[in-house]
């Protein structure tokens, strides 16, 4: 059965959420996490700072959103790699190779996942679980 259609409002909300994360990824890559402000992200996303705070409590929450994106990307790579091999050992090898390709091909996502302590320290229970 197919997923129920999202309402226009839900699609717009998701699009803004994605726009904010896209903007944050650009600014973090350019200026670094520590030197990036919420104003920088809002300006890059072409949104007001007030609207930015409707979606994210703070910069760490935005970083957690990026970490989720990175985690989903890595998970997809692992699933694809696992399906290319028949034995358990071959699956582990394929997943290891996909992890290395993830490191090479998506260095910003790799960095987001490996330097997660600051953003995760302030995560609420639902964010940490996700």
pLDDT in tens, 3-36: 566 798 899 999 999 999 999 999 999 999 999 9
Mean pLDDT of the chain: 89
Which residue blocks in 32-124 are alpha helix, DSSP H? 38-45, 49-55, 59-83, 88-105, 107-114, 117-121
What does pTM read for this prediction?
Answer: 0.81
- Percent of the chain surpassing pLDDT 90: 75
The whole-angstrom separation of Cα 60 and Cα 120 is 8
The CATH number given to 7-56 is 1.10.10.60
The 8-class DSSP code of residue 105 comes to H
The whole-angstrom separation of Cα 122 and Cα 126 is 12
Q: Where are the domains of the chain?
A: 7-56, 59-117
């Amino acid at each position: 059965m197919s997923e129920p259609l999202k309402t226009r409002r839900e699609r717009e909300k998701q699009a803004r959420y994605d726009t904010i994360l896209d903007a944050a990824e650009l600014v973090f890559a350019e200026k670094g996490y520590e030197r990036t402000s919420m104003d920088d992200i809002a300006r890059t996303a072409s949104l007001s700072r007030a609207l930015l705070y409707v979606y994210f409590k703070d910069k760490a929450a935005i970083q957690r959103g990026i970490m989720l994106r990175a985690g989903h990307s890595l998970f997809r790579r692992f699933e694809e790699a696992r399906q290319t091999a028949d034995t358990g050992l071959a699956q582990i090898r394929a997943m290891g190779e996909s992890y290395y390709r993830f490191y090479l091909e998506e260095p910003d996502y790799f960095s987001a996942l490996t330097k997660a302590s600051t953003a995760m320290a302030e995560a609420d229970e639902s964010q940490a679980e996700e």
